[in-house]
């Protein structure tokens, strides 16, 4: 535990502590492999189980995260280096036919993706882009038919609202592949995470409080962009959700709204008029996964900022 925290601070910086470790690895059922040298942890690769829904059913996948190599060992980027051994150790034991998870996935940066592909560890599936909406949201006449209501995890109806939104999302998903957004996952991912509070809003009609969709925004710093972490609801409502997000963010004092988007999410948000798109990560799938290259091309992942394990 303490070795993981120390290496994480060396590699990524920022503040991680025992409550963070308990949230991510104990509540999140994290699994990991490590490489030690002279009693020190020099490389680490973790995975976190997540249920995925798709057209033909559902399956538990493994989300790869906290891939770390001590700075003094980063120059050894061959198949004999710590990066390869720690990654291959986790993938070979947990993924595909030999493990409990048929498929793994993660969000490496472009450099790490190139290294994983060159080492034969992973496939490079697609880009993740950061989208940004600046300025006030252009109000449309139809927006008067919707409202965004704050929702607290402490409220009795919170779980029911999330489950209603999640059911609507699955019913409207079509061919996209969705990571779990049930109330138990949402509570763990956002409400239980140590640190600043997240903001939850439900979309409903002016004459009803029935949940039609649910928005999750990250912590707000005045005059800074706020992360739109998640949308739980029909895919066809994404443009509407983006406008309502911008209105809510403006009231909270944020300067703009940003989110990360896989290609499927970008298509859904294309009509929303985002002002900027920048590649920020890749979608990687370990080759140890029980999936063919043809199946891989048809997976059509639905990923936003909250699908990462670090935003």
End-to-end Cα separation, the chain, in angstroms: 21
Report pLDDT for 81: 82
Q: Is the pLDDT of residue 135 over 90?
A: no
Spatial CB neighbours of 148, under 8 Å, sequence gap ≥ 6: 201, 202, 203, 215, 244, 247, 248
Same domain, 32 and 149: no
Residues 253 and 292 in one domain: no
- Do 265 and 144 sit in the same domain of this protein? yes
Cα 157 from chain centroid? 25
What confidence tens digit (pLDDT) does each residue in 221-260 have? 988 999 999 999 999 999 999 999 998 998 899 999 999 9
> Following DSSP, what letter does each residue of 133-166 receive, concatenated?
EESPPPP-GGGGG-EEEEE-TTSTTHHHHHHHHH
Looking at every residue in the chain, the average pLDDT score rounds to 92
CA-based nearest residue to 48, from 58, 36, 57, 60: 60
- The DSSP letter of residue 132 is E
The residue-averaged pLDDT of 123-134 equals 96
- pLDDT tens digits, 165-175: 999 999 999 89
The average pLDDT across 186-201 equals 94
Please check whether residue 136 lies inside any domain of the structure. Answer: yes
Instruction: Tell whether 53 is covered by a domain.
Output: yes
Judge whether 176 and 235 are in contact, CB under 8 Å.
yes
- If asked whether residues 204 and 232 sit together in one domain, one would say yes
Is residue 56 one of the residues assigned to a domain?
Answer: yes
User: Which residue in this structure is represented by tokens 């140590």?
Assistant: 194
* 204 and 180 within one domain: yes
What are the beta bridge partners of residue 57? Answer: 54
Tell me, yes or no, whether 212 and 179 share the same domain.
yes
Say which CATH number the domain at 159 has: 3.40.630.30
- In a shared domain, residues 273 and 291: no
177 & 69 share domain:
no
62-94, pLDDT tens digit by residue? 999 999 999 887 765 566 788 888 999 999 999
- Determine the Cα–Cα distance for residues 203 and 228; give it in Å rounded to an integer: 15
122 shares its domain with 155: no
Binning the chain into helix, strand and coil, the percentages to the nearest 5 are 35, 30, 30
Q: Look at residue 263 and tell me if it is in a domain.
A: yes
Q: What's the confidence (pLDDT) of residue 136?
A: 67
Assess whether 137 and 269 both reside in one domain: yes
Among 221, 226, 266, which Cα is nearest to 246's?
A: 226
Is residue 227 one of the residues assigned to a domain? yes
How does residue 281 score in pLDDT terms, banded at 50, 70 and 90? very high
Classify residue 310: in a domain, yes or no: no
Please say whether the beta carbons of 39 and 63 come within 8 A. no
How many C-beta neighbours within 10 Å does residue 305 have? 23
What are residue 195's phi and psi, to 5 degrees?
Answer: 115, -160
Q: How many CB atoms lie within 10 A of CB 297?
A: 12
The whole-number pLDDT of residue 142 equals 64
The Cα–Cα gap between 279 and 110 comes to: 9
What is the predicted pLDDT for the residue at 56?
81
Q: Are residues 81 and 65 in the same domain?
A: yes
Domain encompassing residue 79 = 2-126+283-305
- Comparison of pLDDT for 105 and 54, the residue scoring more: 105
271 and 175 within one domain: yes
Does residue 138 surpass a pLDDT of 70?
Answer: no
Residue 311, domain member (yes or no): no
| Rounded Cα gap, residues 287 and 310, in angstroms | 23
Overall domain count for the chain: 2
Q: How far apart are CA 108 and CA 112, in angstroms?
A: 6
Residue 75 has a pLDDT of 63
Does residue 173 form part of some domain?
yes
Sign of CA dihedral 116, 59, 301, 4: negative
């Amino acid at each position: 535990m303490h070795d993981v925290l120390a290496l994480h601070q060396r590699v990524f910086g920022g503040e991680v502590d025992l409550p963070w470790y308990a949230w991510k690895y104990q509540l999140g059922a994290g699994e990991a492999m490590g490489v030690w040298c002279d009693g020190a942890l020099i490389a680490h690769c973790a995975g976190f189980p997540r249920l995925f829904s798709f057209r033909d059913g559902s399956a538990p996948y493994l989300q790869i995260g906290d891939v770390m190599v001590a700075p003094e060992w980063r120059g050894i980027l061959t198949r004999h280096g710590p990066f390869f051994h720690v990654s291959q150790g986790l993938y070979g034991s947990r993924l595909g036919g030999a493990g409990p998870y048929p498929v793994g996935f993660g969000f490496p940066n472009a450099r790490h993706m190139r290294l994983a592909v060159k080492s034969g560890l992973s496939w490079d599936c697609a880009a993740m882009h950061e989208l940004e909406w600046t300025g006030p949201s252009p109000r449309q006449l139809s927006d008067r038919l919707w409202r965004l209501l704050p929702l607290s995890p402490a409220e009795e109806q919170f779980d029911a609202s999330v489950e209603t939104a999640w059911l609507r999302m699955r019913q409207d998903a079509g061919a996209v592949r969705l990571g779990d957004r049930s109330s138990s996952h949402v509570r763990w991912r956002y409400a239980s995470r140590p640190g600043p509070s997240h903001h939850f809003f439900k979309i409903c009609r002016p004459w009803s409080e029935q949940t039609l969709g649910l928005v999750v925004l990250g912590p707000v710093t005045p005059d800074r962009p706020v992360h739109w972490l998640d949308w739980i609801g029909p895919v066809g409502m994404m443009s509407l959700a983006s406008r309502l997000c911008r209105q809510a963010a403006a009231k909270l004092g944020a300067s703009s709204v940003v989110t990360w988007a896989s290609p499927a999410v970008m298509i859904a948000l294309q009509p929303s008029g985002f002002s900027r798109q920048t590649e920020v990560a890749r979608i990687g799938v370990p080759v140890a996964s029980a999936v063919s290259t043809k199946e891989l091309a048809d997976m059509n992942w639905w990923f936003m900022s909250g699908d990462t394990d670090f935003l």
